[in-house]
Amino acid sequence: MIPRYSRPEMVAIWSPETKFRIWFEIEAHATTALANLGVVPKEAAEIVWKKGSEATFDVERIDAIEREVKHDVIAFLTHLSEIVGPEARFVHQGMTSSDVLDTCLNVQLVRATDILLADIDALLAALRRRAFEYKLTPTIGRSHGIHAEPVTFGLKLAQAYAEFERNRERLVAARREIATCAISGAVGTFANIDPSVETYVAEKLGLEVEPVSTQVIPRDRHAAYFSTLAVIASSIERLATEIRHLQRSEVYEAEEYFSEGQKGSSAMPHKRNPVLTENLTGLARVVRGYAVPALENVALWHERDISHSSVERVIGPDATVTLDFALARLANVIDKLVVYPANMQANLDKLGGLVHSQRVLLALTQKGVSREDAYRLVQRNAMPVWRGEGDFLTLLKNDKDVRAALSEAEIEENFDLGYHLKHVDTIFGRVFGSTEA
């Protein structure tokens, strides 16, 4: 997490101020629940809520206490008792630090996820809009980087849309993974705190109760969560890579928006580089890298060890802040992408009709030529074209063996772009549930 790749709303979730506020809410809700049970005085709970809600927690003061006691939750509780007064002794009754820490982490992750979901929604909206804009704009489809057969630019974006819709579903599932609350005490047995406190706090915070915790909420949940972020990052890389390819000098079918005043290169004034999508490619690597320690965090010792904590202090903010930034940047790139349909057509025309080779092959087999022979016939006419030695249609018409099976008109029939686009609506219907914008 560095300012360059951060957005304030997500950063705020991970600030000490937010964290202490959530800690307070967990503690105060738990105190209320305890008051409802008659374990602590109702007035005490009210005073805790009142004074804590009015107060601003002093991060530096808490840090100073922590330097002495070397324990962050104790430092906070000490500071809280400075604010609340004697009733503070009813706070944290029967609880353990992890009840606060783990539940807080999950509250933060839930809030972060809600931002990420909104980010994906914005990206989906941009993809949808541009996909319909270029729904029937022909462009060459490429496999292995080699021209294959025509597609449309809208189809490329429809594929990205479908991919990010899947990512949205994954993120919703990942949110469920970490939307749990544990208030179960030192080893998860509720020895000193009634399970109803956990139920109460969970409901207030919009979380589910963790069925069985062991001081900590189990980290397979977080491993699944950060792995999901890694998958989303990889999809970002895929779309970013597509744009980088399209902006290549030799392809030049699309281009990142280049603002007035922007300089592409300190040395070469003509340069317009796909720096945003290159940047996204790098950020995707960074987010992916965070999945590795999250997976290693699962195997804690016995009821808990604290090795996961330092990892999460780093990757909790870093992964969510970076992914938020990346998703927003990608949405912006798509939104403003400059598209060059004329260049797409020019590239499409480049291979002298070779993109129609499969149709010719099929037409030959339909006329009774064996698949192997048809392949040979097509390939022997395709290869000269590939080498720049002729036009595919002309060569086919002049090939005796081809003509033995197909008339001139029958050959020409196979050189029709519309043929390739006839099912675009089918696909748009599947992806967007509609064939109209």
Tell me how far apart the alpha carbons of residues 262 and 92 are, in angstroms, rounded to a whole number.
55
Is the Cβ of residue 7 or residue 245 nearer to a second copy in the bound state? 245
Least distance (Å) from a second copy to the CB of residue 181? Answer: 13
Catalytic (active-site) positions: 144, 265
Is the Cβ of residue 299 or residue 404 nearer to a second copy in the bound state? 299
Tell me how far apart the alpha carbons of residues 368 and 372 are, in angstroms, rounded to a whole number.
11
Least distance (Å) from a second copy to the CB of residue 265? Answer: 7
Tell me how far apart the alpha carbons of residues 124 and 187 are, in angstroms, rounded to a whole number.
44
Tell me how far apart the alpha carbons of residues 36 and 48 are, in angstroms, rounded to a whole number.
14
Least distance (Å) from a second copy to the CB of residue 104? Answer: 14
Is the Cβ of residue 124 or residue 424 nearer to a second copy in the bound state? 424
- What's at 306, amino acid-wise? I
- The answer to whether the beta carbons of residues 186 and 216 sit under 8 Å apart is no
Is the Cβ of residue 77 or residue 205 nearer to a second copy in the bound state? 77
Least distance (Å) from a second copy to the CB of residue 434? Answer: 13
DSSP of 319-365, one letter per residue?
HHHHHHHHHHHHHHHHHH-EE-HHHHHHHHHTTTTGGGHHHHHHHHH
Q: Token pair 């720096």 is at which residue?
A: 275
Which own/partner pairs from 198-205 qualify as long-range (CB within 8 Å, at least 24 positions apart)? 200/29, 200/30, 200/32, 200/33, 200/36, 201/26, 201/29, 201/30, 201/33, 201/103, 204/25, 204/29, 205/25, 205/26, 205/29, 205/103, 205/107, 205/181
